[in-house]
Amino acid sequence: MRSARLVAVLVIVLGVFAGVLAWRLIPFPSRGATSTIAHGENGRVGYVVTGAGATLSPSPGDTGQEIAANLIFPVTGEAAGGYEVLDNCNRAGWIAVDQVDPGFVPSSRSQDMEGSVFVIDAGHGAPDLGAVGPSGLTEAEVNIDVSSRVIELLYSARDVDWVSGAVTAGSTYQAAAAAIPTRSLDGPNAGDYELGLTFRAELGNAVEATALVSIHHNTEPTADTEGPGTGAFVSANNEQSPRLGGLLVDELRRSFEGFDADWVGGESSLTARVEEDGDDYYTLLAISEVPAAIIEGAYISNPSEEALIMTDAFRQAYAEGVYRALVRFVVTDDNPIPAPEPELYEVEAPPRSMDDCITPA
């Protein structure tokens, strides 16, 4: 009798353990996707997440290369029982339907969180470390941590205290229809791998993102400032991009003001750099067909700010600022900072070559 009861208890304990384990093994993006996206007549596959043992081919029928699990690719078409994708190195490829988890996005957008789709881009990724702080903290590692925190906030219903800025579990704002990272902590090398700028923008285009936010930290300040020197680069050719950038700057400053630092900053909080022909200077903004902004949270080059950027509290404040900006972008017409005059930017810096870019295996 006693041993039968012991067996029953063991079965229950093991069952719970197996359930938890199975839940943990489901890749993070698809877990969110399947739990929050309405499938059916309103959904379509906008991106895919690779499964274990997936093969990426140049086109259907070609010999492919084995690639890692939990890579996120934008879907550009469907052919021969698979998806046409753009890989992280900006190369077109094809992958069989049974080797990926489909990432559904609704076919229309609405002015509420549950009808919105967000792409959150963690700037840089090895071997491109981005800016490096005086004590060695890299942008690549911080940006992906902040990006993951934003994704997590977007995947549940939330309340916002618009005075303190606190974002908590609640019911005022519903979970987003989809929140898609360009690279995630569940990916190979904990998400630290290279992404092309075209890839990042095309992911936003493929899912018709409500907004694409690229998370960065700044260097080369030009002034000591009273408060946080948060700034954003926005598009001169997308009407909603400056409003998105302005909201990000506004909310990040609200987030950071409570922290104590020897703040530094630049000339202006919103900048739109263009080439001679009027195209956006930054590839991500030039290729993006959706409202996009590159947000430079704090100056990682400034020892005082680098010390803050190392802390959980500051990274969470960054993520909550991005979340609040996205809520305001969707549900209000707020436009806190006037759109900047486009400025000609003629620095001859060839874009980083993608010739040696690798799709992780």
Q: Taking the complex as a whole, how short is the minimal distance between the CB of residue 91 and Zn ion, in angstroms?
A: 23
Q: Could you tell me the sign of the dihedral formed by the alpha carbons of 325, 329, 335, 337, in that order? A: positive
Residue 316 CA to residue 309 CA, distance in Å, equals 10
Residue nearest to Zn ion (CB): 216
Angle between helices 312-331 and 241-256 (to 10 degrees): 140
Span of 116-124, 232-240, 274-282, 346-354 interacting with Zn ion by CB under 5 A: 116-124
Which amino acid makes up residue 170? G
Q: Taking the complex as a whole, how short is the minimal distance between the CB of residue 187 and Zn ion, in angstroms?
A: 19
Closest of 55, 97, 53 to residue 77, by C-alpha:
97
Report the residue from 46, 130, 242, 291 that binds Zn ion according to the rule CB under 5 A: 130
Q: Taking the complex as a whole, how short is the minimal distance between the CB of residue 214 and Zn ion, in angstroms?
A: 8
Which stretches does DSSP call E strand in the chain? 43-50, 55-56, 65-66, 72-79, 82-86, 92-96, 100-106, 117-122, 158-160, 167-169, 178-181, 211-218, 223-224, 231-234, 264-265, 270-271, 273-274, 292-299, 343-344
Q: How many residues bind Zn ion (CB under 5 A)?
A: 4
Q: Taking the complex as a whole, how short is the minimal distance between the CB of residue 216 and Zn ion, in angstroms?
A: 4
Residue 117 CA to residue 176 CA, distance in Å, equals 6
Q: Taking the complex as a whole, how short is the minimal distance between the CB of residue 8 and Zn ion, in angstroms?
A: 56
- For Zn ion, which is the closer residue by CB, 336 or 345? 345
Q: Which 8-state DSSP code applies to residue 83?
A: E
- What does the buried/exposed string (b/e) look like for 203-226 if buried means 16 or more CB atoms within 10 Å of the residue's CB? bbbbbbbbbbbbbbbbbebeeeee
334 in Cβ contact with 267 (< 8 Å) = no
- For Zn ion, which is the closer residue by CB, 102 or 231? 231
- For Zn ion, which is the closer residue by CB, 130 or 291? 130
- For Zn ion, which is the closer residue by CB, 83 or 233? 233
- For Zn ion, which is the closer residue by CB, 116 or 218? 218
- The 207-226 contact track toward Zn ion, x by CB under 5 A, reads ---------x----------
**139 to 168, contacts with Zn ion by CB under 5 A?**
139
Q: Taking the complex as a whole, how short is the minimal distance between the CB of residue 255 and Zn ion, in angstroms?
A: 19
Q: Taking the complex as a whole, how short is the minimal distance between the CB of residue 131 and Zn ion, in angstroms?
A: 6
Report the residue from 93, 123, 181, 342 that binds Zn ion according to the rule CB under 5 A: 123
Residues lying near Zn ion in the complex (CB under 5 A) are found at 123, 130, 139, 216
